[in-house]
Amino acid sequence: MRKNLVIAIDGYSSCGKSTLAKALAKTLGFIYIDSGAMYRAVTLYFIRNHINMADEAAVTDALQHIELNFHSRDYESHITLNGEEVSEEIRQMPVSENVSEVSALKQVRKEMVRQQQRMGKSKNIVMDGRDIGTTVFPDAQVKLFMTADPKIRAERRFKELQSKGDTSTSLEDVFENLAHRDYADTTRKESPLVRADDAIILDNTNITPVQQLDFALEKVYPFLPEMSLIKMKS
């Protein structure tokens, strides 16, 4: 039985997993680990270095030259790739178009899972991704599986890209990209996206971020230690 509390959030792309995870971490005073950013950073490295994903030897060698680290500012998770801040670049379309294929590689998943499990050994954490509750932390006390209408997800992602200055990507491009990623994520051989048997479904198609946070907190509170042992942050 774990002494620390692990909250695992899985689900489809652009369902707001990171938004919820960050809000939970801030409310509970937990550490937020963005597993998706790790796979995106690996994808960015592969793109920059022209790594052939079909070449197992090349992939294995590349992974030995990738060092990922997180640092936090105001509960925002920032990731560095070999010491370089890449939090913005990994959200651009070139990475989005390739991350599902990269994350499906056995060598990549094995290395990322190893690092993620190390992060969650002793601290209270919130982690979101595709296989957190099934592969990384099958013993997590709280598991949520997030979903939403595909059109709503595409609109959210489109607005996010626009807010970051991306005016070259159309809503149709985003919708097609999400459909492609959904197929790749759910059909890959290594740790496909599936709902853990004990995961609670959270469909946020028609609810606000505040409402989804309230929903999640209701599921977390029964697992919290005595209030004297954990300081809730306002």
The binding site for ATP consists of: 11-19
196 within 8 A of 133, measured Cβ to Cβ: yes
Q: Residues annotated in the binding site, as ranges?
A: 11-19
Which of 220, 42, 16 lies closest to 128, judged by CA? 16
Residue 84: strand, helix, or coil: strand
| Torsion angle of the four alpha carbons 27, 76, 185, 130, in this order, in degrees rounded to the nearest 10 | -40
**CA 166, 168, 172, 173 torsion: positive or negative?**
negative
What are the DSSP calls for 158-218, one per residue? HHHHHHTT--S--HHHHHHHHHHHHHHHHH-SSS-----TTPEEEE-TTS-HHHHHHHHHH
Report the alpha-carbon distance of residue 117 to residue 99 in Å, rounded.
Answer: 21
Structure tokens at 40: 């995106």
What are the DSSP calls for 53-65, one per residue? TT-HHHHHHHHTT
Beta strand 142-147 with 6-11: parallel, antiparallel or unpaired? parallel
Q: List all residues 6 or more positions away from 80 whose beta carbon is below 8 Å from its beta carbon.
A: 68, 69, 70, 71, 86
